[in-house]
Structure 1
């Protein structure tokens, strides 16, 4: 069955209702929630045509709020980290609510992943889609300007998920949105480590970080380091290699530098393959950075979908985004958004099987 189903998906502890929109084609099925504009499930065929759900998540909406892990969520206003929970824009210092020690992570304590978004539009047809929107008022978490944000999820082509973020502001501000999907291409119905997946990243440099996971310098070459995914290799191959960067993050949680500015159109950024199922994910994006996270902080204390305990390395995040701490780094690609301008971020997740 193809098309769109819109349904009630549960109620939060405060009584707010959460809706779901299920998009289906002949090959893919995706459920998107109004909570966090998050992808709750994504079913993709393996080499034998068998569908499996390949993203971590929960079976009830309140679980996403009770323990914040960003499963499948839209992240904003600024994804990744801001050093010192502040930035200066046009000579004015803006203090943001910290939630990561002295820093800000993924938009602050009440980021976009914890908001109820509005369903603006659903599109039937061969390429079903849903658009959700959110208004973030001036001063939300400390960010300046009233921001009107939207995200469109579309099932396109043979087996593609297209995600398009857009935003405008009535004051100068900073914006860096992303999708925080946790992928296990083997299927999350019966979890096995995703660190056995084979990864290739189309980058030659990455951003080293300090102990607080804030970039402490400029881009450095990948060659000769555990971060060199220029040729495809299992994620686990160098994961235990003695390296200060891996110690800081307990694994991979670093920005790979794809370009020095957003691009006009998405281009190939990474390829992830699960040898067991044959599922392949090619990620194309117009963003300048790709955060690669090997699920290091998944500590076995969460029960996800299908009654599965989620452990370290059970999923991999590939997050297209601005470079971390960009509002504080004038040598990084700009994250500034001015009135009259439009922020746009498009990424394509292309699936196949080998």
Structure 2
């Protein structure tokens, strides 16, 4: 097991951007930038014994901060916070006090605001090689950042095991009641030679999905998947019965006991023989098949377009702040926020 850190020679807001490389004895290799904790590479051996990178991104760091990329920003491989997905009207109330966040997606707040955790340089606080290669990042979000109350200290650890598991462990604490709903936004493509994920076979243990308004904001209504193209419980290709124009951009309520670490989804590609299983302690998973992705000059000069990847964003339900019936996403002083998500690759 190895863990190394390498300077990119780049600085953002006077803080150095560092690349951390984690590897195991099987040849699996993960590269993570401390900027946005971006998973830049996730290289595994496919069924043919070939090295295959299963995440979208860029060959070097400059791609992630280019004007062209940020103009149609897809959050490639980054953490999302303080609050994943959309908050209706960018508004919420805690203990009688109302807060207004930036409206950076129509009339709503998306993924933490104008500059969320995805565009911050995190501190590297620990690097270890035994028993597994791991890195721990830390970010301190000050009271009022993007309109959120309270000073919030966040820690995110990535651990690569010998079983080809990349374990993401999140922790946070605050000095004032504040919303928190973190996720990671990696774009996966398991195919060996295709920029399209239509033929990927996807299984998700969810009997309901969450209704959304015209701007994809969760309303609070649960809709059964029975008899619809949203039913992935037995597994099927993404393209089987889907809306060819829109693909998937919905939140699914996982069939699980709240807080337990269980299987959320399993996705496979025939040509590579690779399967990605995602485990989480979180109650929902947002499935997105990259409808709005339009990125030029990605890895090896590739262009990434519509349906070039899929995301499974494990989290609490979007807009929970405004839906009292949903599990609370308010962190109180003295409490510790904790969640775990695991990306396990197998053949």
Alignment of 1:88-167 (within 5 A): 88-167=93-172
The 1-side partners of 2:162 and 2:327 are apart by 31
Check whether the contact 1:146–1:169 (CA below 8 A) recurs between aligned residues.
yes
Alignment partner for residue 284 of structure 1, among 279, 282, 286? Answer: 279
RMSD of aligned C-alpha atoms?
1.6
The 2-side partners of 1:103 and 1:260 are apart by 30
The 2-side partners of 1:81 and 1:261 are apart by 24
Runs of 4+ in 1 over 6 A off after TM superposition: none
Instruction: Please give the secondary structure, in 1, of the residue aligned with 2:218.
Output: coil
Cα 1:342–1:47 change in 2 (3 A) is same
Match of 1:65 in 2: 65
Match of 1:309 in 2: 303
Check whether the contact 2:205–2:255 (CA below 8 A) recurs between aligned residues.
no
Match of 2:248 in 1: 252
Check whether the contact 1:25–1:126 (CA below 8 A) recurs between aligned residues.
no
Cα 1:313–1:12 change in 2 (3 A) is farther
Check whether the contact 1:186–1:277 (CA below 8 A) recurs between aligned residues.
yes
State the TM-score, normalizing by the size of structure 2. Answer: 0.94
Alignment partner for residue 339 of structure 1, among 326, 330, 333? Answer: 333
Mark the runs of 5 or more structure 1 residues left unpaired by the alignment.
242-246
Instruction: Please give the secondary structure, in 2, of the residue aligned with 1:306.
Output: helix
Match of 1:34 in 2: 34
The 2-side partners of 1:91 and 1:21 are apart by 43
The 1-side partners of 2:224 and 2:279 are apart by 22
The 2-side partners of 1:303 and 1:261 are apart by 42
Alignment partner for residue 79 of structure 1, among 80, 84, 92? Answer: 84
Report whether the alignment pairs 1:213 with 2:216.
yes
The 1-side partners of 2:65 and 2:91 are apart by 25
The 1-side partners of 2:118 and 2:152 are apart by 15
Instruction: Please give the secondary structure, in 1, of the residue aligned with 2:65.
Output: helix
Cα 1:226–1:34 change in 2 (3 A) is same
Alignment of 1:154-303 (within 5 A): 154-187=159-192, 191-240=194-243, 250-258=246-254, 262-263=258-259, 265-299=260-294, 301-303=295-297
Check whether the contact 2:229–2:242 (CA below 8 A) recurs between aligned residues.
yes
Match of 1:55 in 2: 55
State the TM-score, normalizing by the size of structure 1. Answer: 0.92
| Count of residues in correspondence between the two structures | 341
Q: CA deviation at 1:291?
A: 0.4
Report whether the alignment pairs 1:21 with 2:24.
no
The 2-side partners of 1:112 and 1:122 are apart by 21
The 1-side partners of 2:124 and 2:207 are apart by 39
